[in-house]
Amino acid sequence: MINITKNIPLRLLLATTNNGKLRELRSLLADLPIQLATTNEVVPALQVAETGSTYAENALLKALAYQSATGLPVLADDTGLEVEVLGGAPGIHSARFSPQPGATDTDRRRLLLDTLFEKPRPWLARFQCAVAVAVPGTEPEIFYGSVSGEIIDEERGDHGFGYDRLFWIPAAGKTLAELDLDEKNRYSHRAIAVKAAIPYLLQEL
């Protein structure tokens, strides 16, 4: 174990190129005595196919691939939106929900609402997140987070990304996209998972 009192510049690689995720992760990990690096800074050419059948498998695939390529400790996540009336879809395919090449978040949100149009309401849903931490010389660990809510039929809010503008959280009285970053870090699935991982990061790093 590295002794953080020796002024050794600890580095943790955040395995995502999604700027929205990076903002959330940097905010959640800001108080740790760790330097945060991004894949674009360290290994911009490396891409990892998300071929797992669960969020945990996909997060682990990314964490281990980047850890092997860089020798750095890595934090990776996989997240999905599960809509009850759609049998849990889009689930692990949330980021690839639209078959349209080069589909944007707007395209995916529009497709979701089109798919739900004639389905009975309320459109209950939850966001699921698995965070994998791979530290050289140790077995990787997985941490989980989940938040329940409802899909609404209009976009609200200018924050966040993905399906956030359609995901209403009753406890907050807002969509995820209406929450500022501090508020989102109190409610979101990713925040819950990352907060669960922080004691492990402090212990291992």
Note the pLDDT of residue 5: 37
Residue partners of 114: CB distance under 8 A and separation at least 6 = none
Three-class SS state of 197:
helix
Which CATH architecture is the domain 4-204 placed in? Alpha-Beta Complex (3.90)
Instruction: Classify the C-alpha dihedral 30-106-43-201 as positive or negative.
Output: positive
Note the pLDDT of residue 2: 35
Q: Which residues pair with 124 in a beta bridge?
A: 150
Note the pLDDT of residue 1: 39
Residue type, 69: A
Note the pLDDT of residue 141: 97
Q: What is the pLDDT of residues 26-44, one digit of tens each?
A: 999 999 999 999 999 999 8
- What DSSP element (H or E) covers 145? strand 141-151
Q: Are strands 141-151 and 123-134 parallel, antiparallel or unpaired?
A: antiparallel
How far apart are the C-alpha atoms of 67 and 50, rounded to whole Å? 16
Which residue among 31, 77, 78, 105 is the active-site one? Answer: 78
Q: Please answer whether residues 164 and 125 qualify as being in contact, where contact means their C-beta atoms are separated by less than 8 angstroms.
A: no
Note the pLDDT of residue 44: 87
Which stretches of the chain drop beneath a pLDDT of 70? 1-9
Output the pTM of the full model. 0.91
Note the pLDDT of residue 82: 98
How far apart are the C-alpha atoms of 202 and 200, rounded to whole Å? 5
Whether 180 is a known active-site residue: answer no
Note the pLDDT of residue 120: 96
Label residue 27 exposed, middle or buried (CB < 10 Å: 0-12, 13-18, 19+). Answer: middle
Rg (CA), the chain: 17
Note the pLDDT of residue 45: 84
Note the pLDDT of residue 204: 87
